[in-house]
Structure 1
Amino acid sequence: MLVSAALTALAMAVPQVAAHGGVLAYSIAGTYYGGFKAYNTATGQVSIQREWDTYNPITDPTSSVLSCNTNGASLGSGQQSATVAAGSSVTAYWNTWPHTIGPVLVYMANCGGSCSSASTSSLNWFKIDQAGLISGNLVNGTWGMGELVANNNSWTSTIPSSLAAGNYIIRHELLAIHTSNQPQFYPECAQLVLTGGGSGSPSGSYLVKFPGAYKMSDPGVGIDIYSQESTTNYTIPGPAKWSG
């Protein structure tokens, strides 16, 4: 099945919620995986993605569901994990996305055992990819989210090749900041079984928890871009990216 055809079918199967959204599917090391179907019961669904129930944003950076969206639960018997080698690419396909102002962030967390039984808010997350303000100013410049929209509403990241094998959750997040002083977080999670790799394991300041990684006073979170339109730099929230 072609990815584009599969995404079209998925988009037709869910409510079209203006200005909001989530990840519909993944391509991991060349294999296609359908995502969880929001607004449908979790019963009977089979996916590598954790449950997410709404296209609406999370607007509180301290929300209890910031790790993997509402409600972020395992699908039980329907929960799967994608087996992937370290160093492979992961592409997340979002619904038709209208916002182009804000960063794209990708995190991973080692479950230390079964991811299906892990509480995502207690995991230690590290960032493997990010893109903020790429060029220009805060209002009219090119952002990571603008690049995502231009690339057919998709984002591709590479898992660090030195990351140790194990059970992981990967977390994709868009942070829309087009509304003054009101951040809109869109986090989505999926489960991976990582093979190969090396002995790499991030520690110290590279690790954060959700909630806990962000606060409204962070310069890249509670920001009014329109009061500083000519500014040409942006501080991406969260820890530094871990490259292995």
Structure 2
Amino acid sequence: MKFLTALVATVTVALNQANLAASHGGVIGYSIAGTYYQGFKAYNTPVGQVSIQREWDTYDPITDPNSSVLSCNTNGANLGSGQLSATVAAGSQITAYWNPWPHTIGPVMVYMAKCSGTCTSASTSSLSWFKIDQAGLISGALPTGTWAMGQLVSNNNSWTTSIPSTLAAGEYFIRHELLAIHTSNQPQFYPECGQLKVTGSGSAQPSGSYLVKFPGGYHASDPGVTIDIYSQPTVTNYTIPGPAVWRG
């Protein structure tokens, strides 16, 4: 009986994780300058994992725009001896791969943040983030149109972004984020972060209104955050939250 109880419990946990994976998720790997980097494996201990990605522990969304872990998800810690940083030249492309993703309504956003020293020792909630890429409602109306998240799904659950070519060299985080808005008035944020060492001869750095903190970059009152798309069936525009895109 004890064995049967333990077996049922194990199967239940496995099914729960499978259901979570089927409905939610995050970035599971990156392709950078021809090299593939394995992402952090959620629901597994960080001990022994090696990745450029910071730890994220759950497929569940963050639903509070003021959450303390909005910068790089729960819990956003570095992996200690297993923490890597990928070297990439400014102007290069980075492709982030997500687990099989069912949601197709919402924007895709990509941010970076410069570390004053090594990114491994940085606290991500204290950094200033700037947006390098975004896409929202591509065509059509809010509940039925084509969204960036739908394009991500159709493109093998991936999103490719170019690092600004004039960006100054240094250590940076890259932060990929999906904002699923298919549930009325309940935003679902899915952010994950990876560490980079950017090379090149550029000297540009964003400043002023291009920079935000997380939490702090979004508010529940933002028109693109708390939104009921189904009550606006003929609206054909959407305001992506956060700062303007900095292109160097």
TM-score category, normalised to shorter length:
over 0.9
Q: CA deviation at 1:15?
A: 3.8
Seen in structure 2, the aligned counterparts of structure 1 residues 197 and 96 have a Cα distance that, compared at 3 Å, is farther
Aligned with residue 83 of structure 2, among 73, 79, 84: 79
Q: CA deviation at 1:32?
A: 0.5
- The 5 Å alignment of 1:57-68 reads 57-68=61-72
- Confirm or deny that 1:223 pairs with 2:227: yes
1:174 and 1:167 map into 2 onto residues whose CA distance is 23
2:202 and 2:46 map into 1 onto residues whose CA distance is 36
- The 5 Å alignment of 1:1-244 reads 15-16=17-18, 17=20, 18-244=22-248
Flag as ranges the 4+ runs of structure 1 deviating above 6 A: none
Structure 1 gaps of 5+ residues are 1-13
Q: How many residues align?
A: 231
1:19 and 1:185 map into 2 onto residues whose CA distance is 13
Give the TM-score taking structure 1 as reference length.
Answer: 0.93
Amino acid in structure 1 at the alignment position of 2:75: N
Instruction: Give the aligned partner of residue 7 of structure 1.
Output: none
Amino acid in structure 1 at the alignment position of 2:86: A
1:15 and 1:31 map into 2 onto residues whose CA distance is 29
1:19 and 1:197 map into 2 onto residues whose CA distance is 43
- Counterpart secondary structure, 2:23: coil
Amino acid in structure 1 at the alignment position of 2:62: I
1:131 and 1:171 map into 2 onto residues whose CA distance is 15
1:156 and 1:15 map into 2 onto residues whose CA distance is 28
- Counterpart secondary structure, 1:215: coil
Structure showing greater radius of gyration is 2
Q: RMSD over aligned Cα, in angstroms?
A: 0.9
2:23 and 2:36 map into 1 onto residues whose CA distance is 26
